[in-house]
Amino acid sequence: MGHDGNGQLAGTIARVRYEGSRLDVRGPRRRLAGRYIACPGGTETFGPGLEAPFVALLERRIGQSCINLGALNAGAGAHLGDAALLDICGRAERVVLQVTGAHGVSNRLFTVHPRRNDRFLKASPVLRSLYPDIDFTEFCYTRHMLLALKAHDAARFETLREEMCTAWTMRMRKLISGLAPPVTLVVMSERRGKAGLGEDPLFVTPAMVEALRPIVDGIVTAPRPHLPEAARHRAVARALGEAFALQAA
């Protein structure tokens, strides 16, 4: 059994919970008044170990309030299931949405925790029949389960991959389409040292992201993860600032 250890990295960073919300997002608490940009996302948006993740850097660059709504291990399902955070996003001038992995979305084969989307809750009868020789009670974390299932039978795993990707696309379309402000997507690839699953956002291909372009205002992709994390966040903030300036021109 394993986990990502993000809680330790983020232990010194204040977390806040806005009124009515059940998600702990990066602090400090901000005033939700006037013009602001809402930035929902997962671990990379939260920025564990960083004094200034891209949300704070973007605010400095453009001189407009940017509200960090990044939550550790949160995926599309966590934000879609939180009406209070959706309301904060709905009242924003813009939304900057981090693309998170397809493994963190509940689907027809397995269910994840509604807020900590890295945590595996249960397998459906369909998944149990697909892997009848696996004891799913051994798994607490989704990555651990997926690694085990792929190692056990890579051919059967493709059925699981297809289901995760389908569910991800449906949830992302629902999330984006439900937001009134224009949405810009941020894609931050990350190698987690988990051999066999690929890099984050897990199972999300460039084609899947590109298919969302007709319903978003733009897509910003961070440099590859060979750069220091702080430099990658600076690059994302710069790219977002330049994109917003072009759109305003």
Query: Exposed, middle or buried: residue 214 (CB in 10 Å: 0-12, 13-18, 19+)?
Result: exposed
- Which conformational region is residue 247 in: left (phi greater than 0), alpha (psi within -120 to 50 degrees), or beta? alpha
In angstroms, the CA 165 to CA 169 distance is: 6
pTM: 0.92
pLDDT band, very low/low/confident/very high, at 8 (cuts 50, 70, 90): very low
What are the tokens at 141?
């974390």
Q: pLDDT tens digits, residue range 126-179? A: 999 999 999 999 999 999 999 999 999 999 999 999 999 999 999 999 999 999
The pLDDT value given to residue 12: 80
Residue 48: other Cβ atoms inside 10 A? 21
Please report, rounded to a whole number, the percentage of residues in the chain having pLDDT higher than 90: 86
**What does each C-alpha distance from 91 to 28, 35, 86 come to in angstroms?**
19, 9, 9
CB–CB of 156/130 below 8 Å? yes
